[in-house]
Structure formats: C-alpha cells, structure tokens
Amino acid sequence: MARPTPLSGFPEFLPADRFAEQHVLDHLRRTFELHGFASVETRAVETMDQLLRKGEIDKEVYVLRRLQAAETEGDAGLGLHFDLTVPFARYVLENAGKLEFPFRRYQIQKVWRGERPQEGRFREFAQADIDVVAKDELPFHFDVEIATVMAEALSGLPVPPLRIQVNNRKLLEGFYRGLGVEDTAAVMRVMDKLDKLDEAAIRELLAKEGLDPDQASKCLALAAIRTRDSSFADQVRALGVSHPLLDDGITELAQLVDALAELRLDGVSVTADLRIARGLDYYTGTVFETELEGFEHLGSICSGGRYEKLADDGRNVYPGVGISLGVTRLLVPLVSRGHLTTSRAVPSAVLVALVDEESRPTSNAIAQRLRARGIPTEVAAAPQKFGKQIRYAERRGIPYVWFPATEEAADQVKDIRSGDQADADADTWNPPADDLRPAIITPADSPAHTRGATS
Amino acid sequence: MARPTPLSGFPEFLPADRFAEQHVLDHLRRTFELHGFASVETRAVETMDQLLRKGEIDKEVYVLRRLQAAETEGDAGLGLHFDLTVPFARYVLENAGKLEFPFRRYQIQKVWRGERPQEGRFREFAQADIDVVAKDELPFHFDVEIATVMAEALSGLPVPPLRIQVNNRKLLEGFYRGLGVEDTAAVMRVMDKLDKLDEAAIRELLAKEGLDPDQASKCLALAAIRTRDSSFADQVRALGVSHPLLDDGITELAQLVDALAELRLDGVSVTADLRIARGLDYYTGTVFETELEGFEHLGSICSGGRYEKLADDGRNVYPGVGISLGVTRLLVPLVSRGHLTTSRAVPSAVLVALVDEESRPTSNAIAQRLRARGIPTEVAAAPQKFGKQIRYAERRGIPYVWFPATEEAADQVKDIRSGDQADADADTWNPPADDLRPAIITPADSPAHTRGATS
C-alpha cells in the first residue's frame, strides 16, 4: 500500500500534541463537573428530520448510506450531527421523564460538517458544550452561571488570552423597537454584517429596511458601544431610545458583565460588546462570543446564548442557556504553529533498562512496583547497550532511566536531562510531580506567554 | 415536535449510567498510560479503499454523502470506520517518519457498522484498543505485555468475572501441517464453527476437505484441550503430531499462559483454549478471546492477537499485536439489566441551599470555596423551603446539603441520608472520599458480586 496522505478538514494529532489536547479536555471536564454539570454523550447520528429543523445549516450535513443497502433502500435516513445542541434538545425530549430539571449537562464530542474540502475548514471537529435546560421557566441567574463556568474553564487553558464578548438580544430588539423599526430581525441581520461591510454599505442596507439616516446613526452608535463593566448602560440611555424590552436587556446584560468582571480570571477578559448579535441563531436573550488574541481571524471560538425554546414537545417548553467551545478550532492552529505541545510522545516517566533478555522479569517487576504507585513506566524493548537504551528514552522524551541492581551496585535511577544518577528504591522513589505526566509546552515566543497582560 | 424515540442499535446512557461508563473509561485509560501506552485518536472516517481492504466486513460500512452534493458528485468517497485497527494501521503508515518504534498506543473511540436495524446489534459502539506496532520485527514478549496490560485493565472493572481464552495460530497451523493437511486455512475455518455445529457436522465438513476419520479425530481432540497453565503442551504432544511450527506455537502459548497465570488478578481467569481460532481475522500467532460470566451469549467481548503485517508501505513491514475491548458490548447489557449504575445523576457532592434570591452571592461564594478544594458543588435553583431544597438534592442523589450561616447559627452541613447535621467551615470541611464522586453500584444480586469466585 502506498503511504496515505492526510484528508483535508479531518485533523489528527501526533502523540505529544494529543497529550496537550487531553490536558485541555481533562481541565474542561474537571471544571464542568466541579460545577455540577453531568456528562452526556449522544450518538453521532440523528434522523434527517431532526437535523433539518434548523434550516440554515442543512447544506453541511453528511448523510449516511449502508454500503450494501439494496438499490431501492436508499439512504439510511440518518445524518451525522453538525453540532451538539440539536442532539441535546432531542435527548432532553426523549428522556424528559427521567431527567431532573433544571438539568446541567456538559458534552464533549466530535461533530461533522459536509463542507467542500478546502484549507482551514474543518469537516470533523471536537466541541465542548455546557447547557442548563429547565422545564417551562429558566431564571436569568443561569445565564450568569453558564458564563461563569465557561470563563473559569477557559481561564485555565494553556492558550493565548481570550476575550469574551457578551450582549443581549432583548437589548437590541428593544432598542430597535424603541426606534420605531418594524422588521427588527432584518435590522439585526444587517447589523450582524458590521464585520464584513463598511459603514456606508450598512447605512445603505438599513435604508432599504426603511430606516432614516437618524435611525441608522443610532443603530451604528449602539453597535459601537463596548465597556468592561455595566457603564455601557449609561451610554445606551444617552442615545435617547426607550422601550420596556430595552430596559430588560440592559438589566440582564449589566448583571452578567458585572458578575464576570468580579471573577478577575487570569487570561480571560470580558466585555459588554453591543455589536454582537449572532444573527443566524435563534437566541432570545444573552449572547456570547469569544476571540483568541492574535488569532482573531479564526472568528469566535466559544459562542452561545439563551434560547427561550431549546426544545418543545407540545406539552412542555424547555428553555435553555448554553455555550460551546470549539476545541479543535482553538487547538489545531496553536499546535500546527508550534504554540502548544508537550514534553514527550509517551506517558512513561521512567524507562526501566534491560540487562539481558533473561532478566526481563526483573525489569518488569521493577516497572510494576513503580506503576503500583502511579508512575507511568515502560521497560526497554531490547537489551541494547545502556547508551542506546538511554537514547531510546531520549527520543521519546522519557525523563528517567532506571538501572536494575547488579552484583556491584543497588538499583539506580538517572535523570537523563541533567545526567544525575543515584541509588533508588522502586517502592519509595518518586519523580518530581512535574515529571509525572507530559508537561505542557508553550514556547516563550508564543502569544501564550503574554497571558494576563490584557486582563 | 412529537417526543422522539430511541434509534435501535444506537445506545445512549442516562447521566447516572454514563458516570459508570466514564468510571470504566477512566480506569482503562489510567491502566494503559501506566504501562506507557500513548493516546491516539483518529478521524471517524477513512477513504473507501482503505475500508474495503478487509474484504469480509465491507457489507457493514456506512458511506457518507454530502447532503448538498451536486447530482454528479455522488458519494464523498468516505465511510465511517468499523473498527480501530484499520485507522491505526493507516495512521502508522501516514506518520511512520514521526513515530518512534516500537510504538504503544491506546485508542478509545466509537466505531460504526451499517447493520440492518435489529435488536441487540449495535450500529454505533465504543471500543478500547491497545496495540504495539514495530518496524520489521516485533519480539514475542510484546504479546505477553499486551495480554498483561489488558488483563490488568479488565481486572479493575465493576463487572462479572471475565475469562480470557488464549491460543496460537502457529500451534494450529503447525498441528494441521504435521497431520498432513494441505489447505490448513480451510480446516481452521471449519474448526472455528465448533460453537455452532455438532461433532458429526464438523466431521462431515473435514471429510470434504480431504481429512480421514483419524485426522478429523485428532483435530477434534486438539480443540477440546483447555488448561489453566502450560500443561496443555503435554496433552498436545500426546496426540503424536509433530512439526517445527507446532513447537513454536506451543512454546509461545506456554510462555503466555504461564505469565498471565502468575498475575493472579482478581475477577479475571486465563485459559489456554485450543478451540479459539478467530477464523476470519488475519492473525498469525497469538489469539485472544474473552467471555463474560453469565453473559456468554454476547460472544467475545475482548479479542485480538498478532498480525505479522499490521501495515506495509512497500518499504517496511509493520508487525503488530493488539487487543480490543468492546466497551459498549460489555456495558450496555449490564446497565440495561440494572447490574451497573452509580449513586447519583449529577457530579455534585454538595448542594448549597439558598435562603433567598438576594443572598445567592453568599451561597455562590460558599460553593466556590468548596470547589476550590475539589468538591463538586451546585447551588439550589430557587429559594424554596429547606425541606423542598433537601428533596431537590435527594432526587439527584446529592448526599450533602449545606446551609449558609444565619444570625443564630454558623454554616451547617447535613448528610441527607443519615440526617446528621453539624457546623462546618467551607474552607476545611471534606466529605468522605467515597462521597466525592458518584459511587459505582452493582446490586448484590448481580453476577458482579460473584467476582473472584472463578479465579
């Protein structure tokens, strides 16, 4: 067989980089569980009618067909999920009678999008989602909780500084209504294009929606407001627009941004940014986006918000609030530019050397004593000269080589980085805690080391 | 939307059962990493030409098509992987220049098979594989290592006793050649049907392959041998057949079964079982199967063996030895019969009660102090009467409710199972270690409690 080549859009990691991904996933899981979020894992497939309920995204679905299906059988009626929200909403309805509400869940899984193959578009990627869903009513303090938990999770990651941007759809909707706009959704979709179009183009589109130049100016002025605390409220009110829904939105957003600012998390900043709308999604209140410093071209790597109707089974409505971290989207650019990896390609902290093939049981027994105390250990593959066995460890990044006792000497362990070698007992010796697991490496010249500078 | 119903063949767990699955996956990962196995995660898809290289299984592949593909575009040329061996072999070839050999990897992922929907056939399931792959040559001690690591991993699982059955293809091949059989593969395929056919039917099939009654008797006598140690060797030799390959096979199998017997693992027994052939797979030496006591109808839940040619790129050959645990196949029957679950539906060990909505920040601060010391904690959703808040905890299986200090009393924590309540400080109080995480529950009347009985 010829050597296979990578498939565009389906990233895979080498072992040392995969440890970095595992480190990130473990940290996320630990944070989510400390806050009482339960793990849910849903099947990779949904029925096509579930997947196509969200009209905008249907072009990106991978449909399944059994290879040996009869000609008449056609597709399996199933497609791969393209996010974790659709499967979660379905899981909630399917199991509503067996879940306790409000229900907090986290879900870390791959999702798939049937994009045309092209550079930088992922066709398979991992997401880490947290959501709280309730029956009929979900108080606003859960919006604060969701944002807090994800901010705390992001803060512990070995990545460049992150900027969480929050806004509130009620604020936008109320502002537009207070302005006298009729089709507020159309205006929101126009304003969502501020990233791509200049002011003149936006004004032109707003005029098409029936806004006069003064109304358009106020929409643009609103979108320009960004503050680190609830002082945005005064700036909004200074625009002279009023509406009860606008007041609601201001109150909620002020509460959220103040609560987040109080956390004073390392490596994460929070801004009330009134430009954020998340135009295509069905959010009804809070909305979130997140930029990675130095990687703004990636777009938002962590987004979400509140849905008044995450799910609905005809008897009950299930409102939800959630946020989704694009794990692959965050990590692949860092790993591929050398901004993130780990110190070794194997979990082993120790390589037990092999004197000769006959003494393999002796080396195995030493390894087993170390493992019994939680020290990842492997035994040399072959009884080569010790110099070669040390190089074997070196190539894998294993920091310690253990030499079994001989007639002349006790067991000895060598730190192959420093060359230090000393007598040791496999029942008591411990490596420094930092050497127990592959260490995260974020090169000094990478943006990861400017963390905290913007907090 | 009507309430969705489960999809046959795509099992999903409720949260309390999912914790049991996570417990199992964590234990597997920990064991594999202690032995120096690195994590690899491959994409879910392979190109169709990779997937169809193993002829026998092609009927079970799910093929992908982009929903919005042009009429002329057809399938995406991709299918979902049906095991973790094909993707690993491809990964090894693709990254051969960047990996250090011998390369130990574990891989825990979902796989998919496009079976017709029917009860008990999984169409999506998780596997946990370990393999060692080398360049050109892989010494036999790795067969012993692979078996040892998986046996150790299985031994720590909260499941009924497991019986590992080992054999060696060289032993079978050498025996048949020594008997004078020409088409040894055909005979092996016939003998592999011993589970389904009676002796008379097997004799008839062997006769069709040209074996006389005496040769057939010897094949049947060989297949009847099973021992807990290397004493099988004498029984084989007593059949009076000799061949160099038979000797090799006997030596390897004796070494393997003796090494495994020495481990004396709880809940896992090991047998040299000369009936095991794994007929359809391309194994060339050691072969493994594993039965779950009381669930023999499931077939082998953990299987594998040695491939002299796991991968081959024209320049180098990559031999491998590996074993694959069917995690879903093992857990779903136990969970669905109530033989395995956990003590709660949320990670939270503590629910911090809420006096009133205004004091939510006080309750949040207590929760944060507990979390800072690794205690999963949530805050009550609403300031109901304390009796209702306690029932809220009870329904989720949360063992402790924390009452914030009042003017009359200090902070107090209540074990809602015993009713014991005492003053406590959120900076120092700890639950018993067993309460920190959801506890595994294997009901006393389940086979899980007869563990060790067969060792």
Q: Is B106 annotated as a binding residue?
A: no
Select from B329, B332, B446, B342 the least CA-distant residue to B6.
B332
More confident of the two residues B238 and B282: B238
pLDDT digits (tens, 9 = 90+) for B233-267: 999 999 999 999 999 999 999 999 999 999 999 99
Distance CA(A272)–CA(A225), nearest Å, equals: 8
Task: Give mean pLDDT, residues B389-395.
Answer: 98
What pLDDT score does A278 carry? 82
Mean per-residue pLDDT over chain A, rounded: 93
pLDDT digits (tens, 9 = 90+) for A238-287: 999 999 999 999 999 999 999 999 999 999 999 999 999 887 668 999 99
What pLDDT score does B116 carry? 76
User: CB-based contact (8 Å) between B282 and chain A?
Assistant: no
Distance from CA of B65 to the nearest CA of A (A): 5
β-pairing verdict for A62-66 and A317-326: unpaired
Percentage of residues of chain A with pLDDT beyond 70: 93
Q: Is the predicted pLDDT of residue B121 greater than 90, yes or no?
A: no
User: CB-based contact (8 Å) between B34 and chain A?
Assistant: yes
Percent helix, strand and coil across chain A, each to the nearest 5: 40, 20, 40
B63 and A60 within 8 Å at the Cβ level: the answer is no
What pLDDT score does B453 carry? 36
Q: How far lies B43's CA from each of A28, A61, A337, in Å?
A: 21, 17, 21
Task: Give mean pLDDT, residues B368-377.
Answer: 98
A65 and B63 within 8 Å at the Cβ level: the answer is yes
**Under 8 Å CB-to-CB from A107, ≥6 apart: which residues?**
A39, A40, A41, A42, A84, A87, A88, A127, A128, A129, A130, A131
Q: Is the predicted pLDDT of residue A448 greater than 70, yes or no?
A: no
A60 and B38 within 8 Å at the Cβ level: the answer is no
Q: Is the predicted pLDDT of residue B58 greater than 60, yes or no?
A: no
Residue A134 CA, distance from chain mean position: 23
Q: Is the predicted pLDDT of residue B450 greater than 70, yes or no?
A: no
Q: Is B389 annotated as a binding residue?
A: no
A12 and B139 within 8 Å at the Cβ level: the answer is no
Q: Strand, helix or coil at A144?
A: helix
β-pairing verdict for B124-133 and B268-273: unpaired
Question: From the list A58, A62, A314, which residue is nearest B64 (CB)?
Answer: A62
Q: What are phi and psi of A435, to 5 degrees?
A: -90, -5
* B59 confidence band (pLDDT: 50, 70, 90): low
Question: Beta-strand (E) ranges in A90-217?
Answer: 103-112, 124-133, 162-168
The interaxial angle of helices A327-336 and A15-34, nearest 10 deg, is 150
What pLDDT score does B119 carry? 63
Token code pair at residue B4: 């969705």
What pLDDT score does A67 carry? 85
* A68 confidence band (pLDDT: 50, 70, 90): confident
- Confirm if B423 and B322 have CB atoms less than 8 A apart: no
* DSSP 8-state symbol, A77: S
Distance CA(B128)–CA(B107), nearest Å, equals: 6
Mean per-residue pLDDT over chain B, rounded: 93
Read off the amino acid at residue A92: V
Residue A383 CA, distance from chain mean position: 44
Length of chain B as a residue count: 455
How many beta carbons lie within 10 A of that of residue B295, not counting itself?
19
What pLDDT score does B278 carry? 82
**Which among A3-17, A191-205, B31-45 has the top mean pLDDT?**
B31-45
User: CB-based contact (8 Å) between A78 and chain B?
Assistant: yes
Distance from CA of A62 to the nearest CA of B (A): 5
Q: How far lies A425's CA from each of A360, A366, A376, A420, B181, in Å?
A: 18, 9, 16, 16, 55
Task: Give mean pLDDT, residues A129-150.
Answer: 97
pLDDT digits (tens, 9 = 90+) for A305-319: 999 999 998 899 999
How many CA atoms within 13 Å lie on the side-chain side of B177? 13
β-pairing verdict for B421-423 and B412-415: antiparallel
What pLDDT score does B454 carry? 36
Task: Give mean pLDDT, residues B163-174.
Answer: 97
B100 and A65 within 8 Å at the Cβ level: the answer is no
What pLDDT score does A1 carry? 62
| A–B interface: beta-carbon pairs under 8 A | 236
Task: Give mean pLDDT, residues B72-96.
Answer: 90
Residues of B in contact with A342 (CB under 8 A): none
Distance CA(A414)–CA(A432), nearest Å, equals: 13
Token code pair at residue A108: 């870390």
Q: Is the predicted pLDDT of residue A451 greater than 60, yes or no?
A: no
A124 and B45 within 8 Å at the Cβ level: the answer is yes
pLDDT digits (tens, 9 = 90+) for A141-176: 999 999 999 999 999 999 999 999 999 999 999 999
Q: Is the predicted pLDDT of residue B416 greater than 60, yes or no?
A: yes
- Confirm if A152 and A162 have CB atoms less than 8 A apart: no
Select from A264, A131, A93, A321 the least CA-distant residue to B5.
A93
Residues linked to residue B307 through DSSP beta bridges, in sequence order: B320
Select from B452, B446, B415 the least CA-distant residue to B20.
B446
Select from A83, A390, A257, A78 the least CA-distant residue to B62.
A78
Question: Exposed e or buried b for every residue in A62-81, given b needs 16+ CB within 10 A?
Answer: bbbbbbebeeeeeebebbbb
The domains located in chain A, with CATH, are 13-159+306-342 (3.30.930.10), 161-293 (3.30.930.10), 350-424 (3.40.50.800)
User: CB-based contact (8 Å) between B2 and chain A?
Assistant: yes
Q: Is the predicted pLDDT of residue A57 greater than 60, yes or no?
A: no
**Under 8 Å CB-to-CB from A66, ≥6 apart: which residues?**
A73, A76, B61, B62, B63, B114, B116
Distance CA(A38)–CA(A376), nearest Å, equals: 29
What pLDDT score does B90 carry? 96
A68 and B76 within 8 Å at the Cβ level: the answer is no
What pLDDT score does A450 carry? 44
What pLDDT score does B281 carry? 67
B120: left (phi over 0), alpha (psi -120 to 50) or beta: left
Q: Is the predicted pLDDT of residue A452 greater than 50, yes or no?
A: no
Q: Is the predicted pLDDT of residue A209 greater than 90, yes or no?
A: yes
Token code pair at residue A434: 């930092």
Question: Exposed e or buried b for every residue in B410-434, given b needs 16+ CB within 10 A?
Answer: ebbbbebeeeeeeebebeebebeee
What pLDDT score does A27 carry? 98
How many beta carbons lie within 10 A of that of residue A336, not counting itself?
12
- Confirm if A268 and A455 have CB atoms less than 8 A apart: yes
pLDDT digits (tens, 9 = 90+) for B38-52: 999 999 999 998 888
Alpha-helical regions (H) of B156-239: 169-179, 184-191, 199-208, 213-223, 232-237
User: CB-based contact (8 Å) between A207 and chain B?
Assistant: no
Token code pair at residue B455: 């060792």
Number of H helices, E strands in chain A: 14, 19
User: CB-based contact (8 Å) between B75 and chain A?
Assistant: yes
What pLDDT score does A116 carry? 76
User: CB-based contact (8 Å) between A224 and chain B?
Assistant: no
B377 and A39 within 8 Å at the Cβ level: the answer is no
pLDDT digits (tens, 9 = 90+) for A81-95: 999 999 999 999 999
Alpha-helical regions (H) of A199-355: 199-208, 213-223, 232-237, 244-263, 327-336
Token code pair at residue A304: 């979400």
Number of H helices, E strands in chain B: 14, 19
What pLDDT score does A53 carry? 77
- Confirm if B441 and B19 have CB atoms less than 8 A apart: no
What pLDDT score does B108 carry? 98
B44 and A376 within 8 Å at the Cβ level: the answer is no
Sign of the four-CA dihedral B25, B29, B30, B35: positive
* B279 confidence band (pLDDT: 50, 70, 90): confident
What pLDDT score does B449 carry? 44
β-pairing verdict for B103-112 and B38-39: parallel
Residues of A in contact with B346 (CB under 8 A): 36-38, 100, 104
Residues linked to residue B127 through DSSP beta bridges, in sequence order: B109, B326
Question: From the list B76, B91, B347, which residue is nearest A38 (CB)?
Answer: B347
Distance from CA of B213 to the nearest CA of A (A): 40
Distance CA(B43)–CA(B35), nearest Å, equals: 25
Q: What are phi and psi of B293, to 5 degrees?
A: -60, 130
Distance from CA of A429 to the nearest CA of B (A): 16
More confident of the two residues B48 and A444: B48
pLDDT digits (tens, 9 = 90+) for A329-383: 999 999 999 999 999 999 999 999 999 999 999 999 999 999 999 999 999 999 9
What pLDDT score does A282 carry? 81
Token code pair at residue A145: 């909780």
Q: What are phi and psi of A42, to 5 degrees?
A: -100, 160
